[in-house]
Chain A
Amino acid sequence: MLKENATTIGTPVPRIDGPYKTTGIAKYSSDHNFPGLLHAVPVCATIAKGKITGIDTAAAEAMRGVVKIYHYGNAPHLYRPIPRDARVDEARPAFEDENVYYSGQYVAVVVAETMEQARAAARAVKVSYAVEKPDNRLDLSEGLQEDGLHEANKRGDVDAAFSTGTVKIDAIYITPVETHNPMELHASVATYDSGKFVLYETTQSIVNHRTAMAQMLGVPVENVQIIMKFLGSGFGGKLWVWQHSLLAASAARDLRRPVKLVTDRRSQFTNVGHRPRTQQRLRLAATAEGKLTCIQHDYSSETSILDNVGENCGESTPFLWSTPNLRVRSSMSRRNVGTPTAMRGPGAVPGLFALESAMDELAIRLKMDPVQLRLLNEPEKDESNGLPFSSRHMKECLTLGAEKFGWAKRNPVVGSMKKPDGTILGWGIAGASWGAGRIPTSANFAFRDDGSVRIGCATQDIGTGTYTVFSQMVHHITGISMGRIEVALGDTSLPPGPLSGGSRVTGSLFPAIQDAVNAATKQLLQIAVNGVHSPFKGAKPDDLAFSEGRVYRKADSSASGVTFEEILRSANLRSAIGEGSSVASQQDPKAKGLSLHSFGAQFVEVEWDPGIARLRVSRVVTVIDGGQIINLKAATNQVEGAIVMGLGMGLLEETVYDQRYGHPVNANYADYLVATHADCPPTIDVTFLDYPDKAMSEIGARGIGEIGLAGVAPAITAAVYHASGVRVRELPVRIEDLLQPSTRKHRA
């Protein structure tokens, strides 16, 4: 339907929502205000384990502006979500009982006329506790005992293969608790009128949010509408409902007034999920030539006392490299922490830190180039299930990356690549992978009499460029210029769309949009042949075609046609509309029998100045096999951002808990270190291979929100080893690790 050269697919199109953000017009969820709005501020537990023995609200209640204070003794009833239906990682409604399971748990919430009043009163609520000793041990080895591990994946006989292996690695790798810390705080503005809730939420999944909120509030799902137009990032932390949403909605219903609750920065570390700590044991064996004979990956991840949210560290292990013998086993270790949740590349990212670090150690033991080792162990198919990969170009990622990076010039001897100023370069590499696949999506599409079109879908743009990607796809399908395309997202009154998680949105959209456009086009052609004043009156719809915004007779050229707005006007219709949908990849015959994943390779250069123990990442070259890229600008930005986040994971980020009290010690933006601009490597070189994955859709897009983070940390630690000779198996790499063997007692 489209002129060959007209598509914007794969080009660096600027974001259509950019001007809204740069001018401040964009309304984020907590920007919504309503007449009579009240403000809610939670009271957070100052113990990490125990029971509430009393809540004295007298002083707080007497304070100016205070409307109501809720706690377990007086709060309106709230329900748990239906298991396996709506997803809520922390299923226990706040105030369910008097128990405290983690530091910062909400124990009361103050509702007042202003935020300042609510805050002041929240400080004045006196909570007494029967305190118990919390368990915040860092060592998770209890979870790595034989009897506690659950088998997730297995082929061959790893024990036999390991015992007879020629060259072996057996090591423990540890990743710390990481906190998502998006710039925008989690927030909720709840309105309630005549039995219906309209909730402005900071969510990456409005559809799940609606289902979950309806279940927890105990109302029919149609009584809840979720709106989220702009998100200041989520990184997975905003995928599922957290308790503040419930507190706001419940108060709004009880008080019959709108309620706003904006969580504070500290709560980002306690009440809205985190990437849990993991302890992983990798056992690799290989022949003297470097052929892997076994991979064993056992891991335990920390979880909360009540929930079962673990880190799926074995996400990529079963299929990333070829090996006849493999076993992946997992467990969880309970600690007095808030419930963990998905964080960008959940499972795979910490899992690959362990697997790819072990691969690097194996290469060194084999005296083999780490790129070569990976090339040598390239699988021909997904060995975990015997299925062919839909589109795997790992070898090209490795070889192209090596070429762009200048890998051939690497001297493998530790500390050998000295610069004239005395700093030492370290070069490291790691493979990356992240799952792919479509999830069910629906959308509606309308041609309108003013010459504009509108695409609508109850998915959301979490700051990644989804609005723009919709517009590009509609443009690609219809040829209508992007300036005439309205994109409506972030409202559950639209047809249900995908959650913004797992890098699934972009890959899921195309067939549904295509289907909706087709349905609307069909209606448009029907209108064209029926309209009293239509130039095509009396023709058969089959005789007509649509492209570039015009309806025309197939026999003639499209230029001879009539614009869709003229057709609509001639029939006095506002719009021609169509609904479309697509199924999950699992139901798609084109994807059946195939293994869908994205792949990549990370090449990292560090500069190590031993004279002052200063380590900086100076260069990253990344090659991503992520299907057809839709928007080169947004995609590059996603991967560059992920690399910077990976730098943070490798060198900086760690939520530290006081071992005696269970409180996070560095729960603010100054003490929890994320990479700053000054830390960004001067060179970040991102390449997309751009092979369309036809098992995904005709357009062949997968998703690239997470893959860029995978493999960065192990490539950094590999580079650190190459520069300094110190192998760091516990993230983040700290100055003290490089100065002297770790003596930090807060470490395992």
Chain B
Amino acid sequence: MIDFELTRVGTPDAAIQIAAATPTAQQGATIRFIAGGTNLIDYMKLDVETPQHLVDINRIPDLAKVEKQPDGSLKIGALVRNSDLAQAPEVVAEYAVLSQALLSGASAQLRNKATTSGNLLQRTRCPYFRDLAYAECNKRTPGSGCAAIDGYHRNHAILGVSDHCIATHASDMDVALMVLDAVIHVQGTKGNRTIPIGEFYKLPGTTPHIENSLEPGDLITHVTLPALPEKTKQIYLKLRDRASYEFALASAAIVMQVQGGRMRHVRVAMGGVGTRPWRMPEAERALEGQAPEERVFRTAADAALKNARPNTDNAFKVPLAKLCMIRALTTVTNA
């Protein structure tokens, strides 16, 4: 870890003003906001993140609230702790998929610290990204290569990969946010703007060090979840080696209605398999309007994974992801 300056701010404006001076909000940022710190400090201790200035946003008032909006949407403050969000009555009642996803993530201690905005911006757990002993990591050092592609990559992505990076986006929460069509609210040097979560994350392509659409100074203030149609069924299913405290090998978030024996408003996303939280429009198309039958589920799973590009160690994720989706669909439609 290198020496850094710490400023505690009380307003979004103060935070933004300081952070605006970083040349980038992506890898190599010299100024970073700190929320729960569970991801940032981890990487600072490993010298993967080397900000010279930390802006502690925890004292900004009103960012830790969960509020129902007049239009029926739910406003989730950037600093709501993952554990609080998972237990928030509105979330438990109306957005169960989010609650389940949050509770399946990390450990109780981490969830108590971790925040909404921090979770959105958590960085990959790729072991080569984490370890400076490897020179090659395009995400850490652009243009240096990728140690994972020919290395150990059991937990790496099979969707959205490029020849430059195959790192998995490891979040559970964000997979649920994908099927809830969450909107991210950002306050920046040029004012406020909203980014639908589907447009928030970038594919690695040739620039895996650029992970999202944030610019210097951009502060996530909150996330909104639009009101859902009546009587949706929801599920988050996470598969992994051990029963707790492990990132997903494959996970599925599903929201849908079943009306008159037909699936409607189908939203499917998967975690543990993509370079970003992976929404699956192919699967949604295959399911929408169909009767909930295993044959249909299978078709949907096949369609969703058709473009998978597995490597050696992670080849099993293709069949595993399909099983995960099929089971999630079976369970949710039976519920």
Query: Which A residues are within 8 Å of any B CB, using their own CB?
Result: 46, 103, 119-120, 123, 611-614, 616, 651-652, 656, 658-661, 663, 665-666, 670-671, 673, 675-679, 734-736, 739-740, 743-746
Given A658-B151, A665-B127, A739-B320, the answer on whether A745 and B245 have CB atoms closer than 8 Å is: no
Query: Which of B2, B127, B237, B249 has most chain A Cβ within 10 Å?
Result: B127
Asked if B243 and A123 sit within 8 Å, CB to CB, the answer is: no
Asked if A663 and B133 sit within 8 Å, CB to CB, the answer is: yes
- The residue on A at minimum CB distance from B152 is A665
Interface string of B146-172 (1 = CB under 8 A from A): 010011101000000000000000000
Main secondary structure of the interface of B (DSSP, over half): loop
Give the residue of B152, B237, B312, B320 whose beta carbon is less than 8 angstroms from that of A735: B320
Inter-chain CA distance A746–B319, complex, in Å, is 20
- The residue on A at minimum CB distance from B150 is A660
Inter-chain CA distance A123–B150, complex, in Å, is 28
Inter-chain CA distance A521–B70, complex, in Å, is 85
Asked if B152 and A675 sit within 8 Å, CB to CB, the answer is: no
Given A676-B245, A745-B312, the answer on whether A613 and B320 have CB atoms closer than 8 Å is: yes
Residues on B with C-beta less than 8 A from A743 are 312, 315-316
Residues on B with C-beta less than 8 A from A670 are 125, 245-246
Interface string of B300-331 (1 = CB under 8 A from A): 00000000000011011001100110110010
Asked if A652 and B242 sit within 8 Å, CB to CB, the answer is: yes
Inter-chain CA distance A660–B149, complex, in Å, is 12
Residues on B with C-beta less than 8 A from A660 are 150-151
Residues on B with C-beta less than 8 A from A616 are 243
CB distance from B156 to the nearest CB of A (A): 12
Inter-chain CA distance A676–B107, complex, in Å, is 11
Asked if A612 and B324 sit within 8 Å, CB to CB, the answer is: yes
Residues on B with C-beta less than 8 A from A120 are 1-3
Q: For the complex of A and B, list the 3 residue pairs with the smallest distance between their C-beta atoms, beginning with the closest.
A: A736-B316, A678-B244, A678-B243
Asked if B245 and A612 sit within 8 Å, CB to CB, the answer is: no
Residues on A with C-beta less than 8 A from B246 are 670, 673
Inter-chain CA distance A658–B127, complex, in Å, is 10
How many A-B residue contacts, CB cutoff 8 Å? Answer: 92
Taking CB atoms and an 8 Å cut-off, the chain B residues in 106-133 that contact chain A are 125, 127, 131-133
Asked if B152 and A746 sit within 8 Å, CB to CB, the answer is: yes
Give the residue of A612, A613, A671, A745 whose beta carbon is less than 8 angstroms from that of B127: A671
Residues on A with C-beta less than 8 A from B152 are 656, 658-659, 665, 746
Inter-chain CA distance A740–B47, complex, in Å, is 38
Asked if B320 and A679 sit within 8 Å, CB to CB, the answer is: no
Residues on B with C-beta less than 8 A from A613 are 239, 320, 323
Asked if B47 and A123 sit within 8 Å, CB to CB, the answer is: yes
20 A-B contacts (beta carbon < 8 Å): A119-B1, A120-B2, A611-B330, A612-B239, A613-B323, A651-B242, A656-B152, A658-B134, A658-B147, A658-B152, A660-B151, A673-B242, A677-B244, A678-B244, A679-B243, A679-B244, A740-B315, A740-B319, A744-B313, A746-B313
B71 at the interface (CB under 8 A from A): no
Asked if B244 and A676 sit within 8 Å, CB to CB, the answer is: yes
7 new A-B contacts at CB < 8 Å, known A611-B323, A670-B245, A675-B242: A123-B1, A611-B327, A651-B241, A652-B242, A656-B152, A663-B134, A679-B244
Residues on B with C-beta less than 8 A from A740 are 315-316, 319
Residues on B with C-beta less than 8 A from A746 are 152, 154, 313
Asked if B249 and A735 sit within 8 Å, CB to CB, the answer is: yes
Given A675-B242, A734-B241, A744-B312, the answer on whether A663 and B320 have CB atoms closer than 8 Å is: no
- The residue on A at minimum CB distance from B310 is A743
- The residue on A at minimum CB distance from B323 is A612
Asked if A673 and B316 sit within 8 Å, CB to CB, the answer is: no
Inter-chain CA distance A383–B243, complex, in Å, is 43
Asked if B133 and A671 sit within 8 Å, CB to CB, the answer is: no
Inter-chain CA distance A616–B312, complex, in Å, is 25
Give the residue of A651, A678, A744 whose beta carbon is less than 8 angstroms from that of B154: A744
CB distance from B239 to the nearest CB of A (A): 6
Asked if A611 and B316 sit within 8 Å, CB to CB, the answer is: no
Residues on A with C-beta less than 8 A from B147 are 658
Residues on A with C-beta less than 8 A from B326 are 611
Inter-chain CA distance A671–B246, complex, in Å, is 8
Residues on A with C-beta less than 8 A from B312 are 743-745
- The residue on B at minimum CB distance from A264 is B45
Asked if B243 and A735 sit within 8 Å, CB to CB, the answer is: no
Inter-chain CA distance A613–B249, complex, in Å, is 11
CB distance from B247 to the nearest CB of A (A): 8
- The residue on A at minimum CB distance from B134 is A661
Residues on B with C-beta less than 8 A from A612 are 237, 239, 323-324, 327
Inter-chain CA distance A341–B289, complex, in Å, is 61
- The residue on B at minimum CB distance from A657 is B152
Asked if A745 and B313 sit within 8 Å, CB to CB, the answer is: yes
Inter-chain CA distance A658–B126, complex, in Å, is 13
Inter-chain CA distance A636–B317, complex, in Å, is 39
Inter-chain CA distance A661–B150, complex, in Å, is 12
CB distance from B196 to the nearest CB of A (A): 31
Inter-chain CA distance A676–B47, complex, in Å, is 29
CB distance from B328 to the nearest CB of A (A): 9
- The residue on A at minimum CB distance from B243 is A678
Inter-chain CA distance A123–B151, complex, in Å, is 25
CB distance from A290 to the nearest CB of B (A): 36
- The residue on B at minimum CB distance from A610 is B323
CB distance from B61 to the nearest CB of A (A): 32
CB distance from B20 to the nearest CB of A (A): 28
Residues on B with C-beta less than 8 A from A671 are 125, 127
Asked if A663 and B323 sit within 8 Å, CB to CB, the answer is: no
Give the residue of A119, A611, A666, A679 whose beta carbon is less than 8 angstroms from that of B242: A679
CB distance from B91 to the nearest CB of A (A): 22
Given A612-B324, A671-B127, A745-B313, the answer on whether A676 and B241 have CB atoms closer than 8 Å is: no
Interface string of B195-235 (1 = CB under 8 A from A): 00000000000000000000000000000000000000000
Asked if A665 and B243 sit within 8 Å, CB to CB, the answer is: no
CB distance from A615 to the nearest CB of B (A): 9
Residues on A with C-beta less than 8 A from B242 are 651-652, 673, 675-676, 678-679
Residues on B with C-beta less than 8 A from A663 are 131, 133-134
